Amino acid sequence: MKKWIAIIVASIAVIFVCFGVIFTRQQKQSVTPTKNRSGLRIQKQKTSNSKKGMRNTDNITAQFSNDEWILMGYMAYAHDNYVQSRHIKNTADLVNDVGEDLTNGDLKATKSGDTNYQLGNKFGSVNVVVEDSDVKVTGDGDFTTAKTELKNKFGAYASQIQKMTKAISSGSSNSSSSKQEANLSDQELAVAVFIDDYNSSSDIPQKISKIESTIKKQQAPDYVTSSGQDYLSGLYHGTHKGQAYYGIAGSFSTSAYTNYYINDTDRIGVQPGGANLGMDGPKKYKSKAEIIKKYSPYKNDVDQILQGLEYNKSQMKQISKKLNKQAEEEAKN
C-alpha cells in the first residue's frame, strides 16, 4: 500500500514539473517576441514620421520667399481687424485690402534681417519673424501660424502676394522724406508720375508689369510696322518759358507726349501735349512728397522702365530706316 502511495505522489510531482516547464516556455514565447516587435514598430514609426515631417516642412518653406511668408503671416494675424474695420467677407477681400494699404502707404513693411520684418500703420507696429515651420507675429502678445495653414489659406493668391512684396523696403530705407527725395532723381520722378497716371488702377505692381511688358514687346526686332505708332519712344528733357521739364512720348512720331515739370517746389506739374495741344495747355498737379512716398519702394522698377525708355529712344534712327525701307517696298508693290 505504501508503495502505491509513493508511486502516486511521484507521478503527481512529475505532472506538476511538466506543467511548470510548459508554462515557463509559453511565457517566454509570448512575452519576449511581443516586446521586441512592439519596440521595433514604435521606433520605426517615429523615425518615419520625423523624416516625413521634416521633408514636408522643407518643401512647403521652399514654395514661398520669406517676404511672401511674412505677408501671409501678417494677414492671418490682422484678419479680425480687417473684418471689423473693413467688413471683409473672405480671403480675397483680405488680400486685396492689405495690398491696397501697402500700395498707398497706409501699411508699411520693412525688412530688418533675413527672417525679421516690421509692419506698421497709424495704430502701431508689429514684428514678424519667419521660423522653420511657422510665422510668428509679436505685438501685444505672440500670434503664431503654421506654414501649412498659411499655404492652405493664401496659396491660391500666390501671384498677387508676390507682387505685394515689392512694397517691402529694407531697414536702411527708413529715412525722412528729404532723404527719400534725394534717392529719386528728377528723371525717376518723371517716370514715377508716368507710372502713376498709366491707367486708373491703384495697383502699382500691376501698372509696372504692364509698362515693362509693353517696352519688352516694342524692343522685339519685328515689332515696328508702318502702323506702329504706339511706341514708348523715350524720355526727353527741355525748357519752356524758363521752366525745365521731362517729357515721355507715347508714339513713334513723338506727336503724343506728356511733360512733367519738376521744379524746386512741392508739386509736379503734369501737362499732356500733342499736335493740337502745344506746350501751353492746362496742367494738373501731383504732390511730390506723395509720389516719393508711393514709389521709393519701387525704385528698381522705376529705373528699369527708365532704361527701357532710353533704349527705345536710342533705336529710333534704326527703326526709322526700317519703316522707310518698308514703305518703299510697299510702294513698289
The three-class DSSP label of residue 277 is coil
More confident residue, 332 or 118: 118
Q: Give the β-pairing of 134-138 and 243-249.
A: unpaired
Q: What is the largest CA-CA distance in the chain?
A: 148
More confident residue, 279 or 175: 279
With a pLDDT cut of 90, the percent of the chain lying above it is 32
The three-class DSSP label of residue 279 is coil
Options 3.40.50.2300, 3.30.1460.60, 3.90.550.10, 3.40.50.300; CATH of 181-332: 3.30.1460.60
Read off the pLDDT band of 279 (50, 70, 90).
confident
Query: For residue range 12-21, what is the model confidence (pLDDT) as tens digits?
Result: 555 554 545 4
Are 246 and 194 within 8 A, CB to CB? no
- Strands of 134-138's sheet, edge to edge? 142-146, 134-138, 124-130, 116-121, 108-111, 168-170
- Got the DSSP string for 106-166? SSEEEE-SSSEEEEEETTEEEEEEE-SSEEEEESSSEEEEEHHHHHHHHGGGHHHHHHHGG
Read off the pLDDT band of 57 (50, 70, 90).
low
Q: Which residues pair with 125 in a beta bridge?
A: 120
Calpha distance 275→271 (Å, rounded): 13
More confident residue, 41 or 121: 121
Nine-digit cell at 114?
Answer: 533675413
Sign, CA dihedral 229-233-239-245, equals: positive
The three-class DSSP label of residue 168 is strand
**CATH of span 66-174:** 3.30.1460
Domain boundaries, the chain: 1-62, 66-174, 181-332
Burial state string for 261-282 with b = 16 or more CB within 10 A and e = fewer than 16: bbeeeebbbbbebeeeeeeeee
- Total-model pTM: 0.46
CA 287 to chain CA mean position, Å:
27
Residues 6+ apart with CB under 8 A from 73: 128, 130, 134, 135, 136, 137, 145, 150
User: Does the fold of domain 181-332 match that of domain 66-174?
Assistant: yes
Is residue 268 over pLDDT 80?
Answer: yes
Is residue 120 over pLDDT 50?
Answer: yes
The three-class DSSP label of residue 309 is helix
Question: What's the pLDDT at 181?
Answer: 42
Sign, CA dihedral 53-54-59-63, equals: positive
Is residue 333 over pLDDT 80?
Answer: no
